[in-house]
Amino acid sequence: MQRQFSMERQATQAGALQQNRVLRNTYLLLAVSMIPTIAGAYLGVSTGFSLFAGSPMVSFLLFLGIAFGFMWGIERTKNSGMGVVLLLGFTFFMGLMLSGILRVALGFSNGPALIATAAGGTGAIFFTLAGIATVTKKDFSFMGRFLFVGLVVILLAMLANIFFQIPALSLTISAVAILLFSGYILYDISRIVNGGETNYITATLAVYLDIYNVFVHLLHLLMALSGSRD
């Protein structure tokens, strides 16, 4: 009995160490991934890069194709160094895509302040929710189904708004998206903390997309509500 208890204790400790290692590596790779994101955004702003210069629908489908291609490759190579390379390539691509909304923001007289506010707000949301998931160690996996349904609804609404171009719908999408991806931060960090995700490359990809989407939609709301043109 004592030996069995000792073995169970050792297994529990090993599991906790593994979870801590995955969480630590995820945060480290997440920080590194911001470098190619910033580089891609800077290059895109400087060169006027735009994937959406042609047909909005074709451009949207092209973006999804490239993004899902990267994510498929990352998932296939997540247990090797190539997974890290593809992840960093993906974050550079997402930085390029980010340059479009950044150029729009910089067209406002208070554009830099709007970008800084969106970045600060995103950081506050991330650290607060990641802290809750890490400290409480509560299992938020029950949120997965609801979040997925919300994600599908958001994607369909974005697709519809490409055709209808309704400002009120666009703002509603951004408001809901901020709540949705904030929920995903809680969900994804909780999965790492509780052992539901054991690969730090996959974990980094998930958390990166959460943060990216919170930032984009928060910046969109700030531009719409407090953007100023002289």
Give the tens place of pLDDT for each residue, 37-73. 999 999 999 988 877 666 677 788 888 899 999 999 9
Residue 87 CA, chain-centre distance (Å), reads: 12
pLDDT of residue 230: 63
- Report the candidate in 215, 222, 192, 226 with the shortest Cα–Cα distance to residue 24: 192
Q: What tens digit of pLDDT does each residue of 81-126 get?
A: 999 999 999 999 999 999 999 999 999 989 899 999 999 999 999 9
| Ranges of each domain in the chain | 2-226
Residues 6 or more apart whose CB falls under 8 angstroms from that of 25 comprise 200, 204
Please state the pTM of the whole predicted model: 0.89
Question: In this structure, are residues 90 and 194 in contact, taking their beta carbons and an 8 Å threshold?
Answer: no
User: pLDDT (tens digit, 9 = 90+) per residue, 187-199?
Assistant: 999 999 988 888 9
- Residue 137: DSSP 8-state: -
Statement: residue 202 has pLDDT above 60: yes
Cβ–Cβ < 8 Å for 141, 189: no
Residue 65 corresponds to which amino acid? G
Tokens 């974990």 locate to 203
Of the candidates 190, 179, 186, 184, the residue with the CA atom closest to the CA atom of residue 210: 184
